[in-house]
Amino acid sequence: MIKNISKVVVSLSLVALVAGCSSKEEPQPQDQLSADFQCKQENVLAPNWTCIPDVPGYYAGVGVAEKSAAGIAHMRRVAMMNGRSDLAQQIQTQVKDKIEGFTRATGNGSAETVDKVSTAVTKQVAKVDLQGSKAVNMWQAPSGALYMLVTVPASEVNKEVKNAVKTSFKNDEALWQQFQAKQALEQLDAEFPTE
């Protein structure tokens, strides 16, 4: 009987031990799960600007140059060229969106006129020289690739855009008269701040 009692006590102890060890962890709500929001390039932590180029008061782009036997000077030139290309694409897209919104908001005519003005301004802005652009940061990835942050002052680009808009509207006197309305000028200043 003592043997049986010993077996029961040992069995209950094992059951209690197993029950205590197998307690389930309560699932965490989705927002409490640890998410990795850090910027990674080539599976290593990288500066945030390599993922999201954002510099207040500037248009910013990232240029990348793969490791080259031609050396670091060549890589810098390639990264700068790619960064400027990225800037040009961003600027053209933003300008097109703003111009279309601006021309619709100021009521300057039919969709044909809006498209005409938007196309004309986009072509003129595409010709804007990014001479004011410069490299403001660089990072070399483990593979040897060079990442370069390239910026251009938003006020300079916006000034060129305003000039292009005015030139485009001046090409058609009827549109130019509508453009000169006070509301239109205020809206243009709001869309393209130069200060």
* CATH code of the region 39-186: 3.10.129
Cα–Cα distances (Å) from 166 to 27, 113, 181, 193, in that order, read 60, 14, 13, 15
Question: What does each of the 195 residues of the chain score in pLDDT, given as a tens digit?
Answer: 566 566 655 565 655 555 555 555 555 554 444 556 789 999 999 999 999 999 999 999 999 999 999 999 999 999 999 999 998 888 888 777 776 666 555 554 544 555 555 665 655 565 566 778 899 999 999 999 999 999 999 888 888 777 777 776 666 555 555 555 555 667 777 778 877
Q: State the pLDDT at residue 157.
A: 83
pTM score, two decimals?
Answer: 0.62
Asked if residue 65 lies in contact with residue 75, where contact means CB atoms within 8 angstroms, the answer is yes
Residue the block writes with tokens 């060079």: 146
Angle between helices 154-170 and 72-105 (to 10 degrees): 50
Q: Determine the Cα–Cα distance for residues 44 and 53; give it in Å rounded to an integer.
A: 18
Q: State the pLDDT at residue 119.
A: 60
What backbone phi and psi angles, to 5 degrees, belong to 69? -70, -15
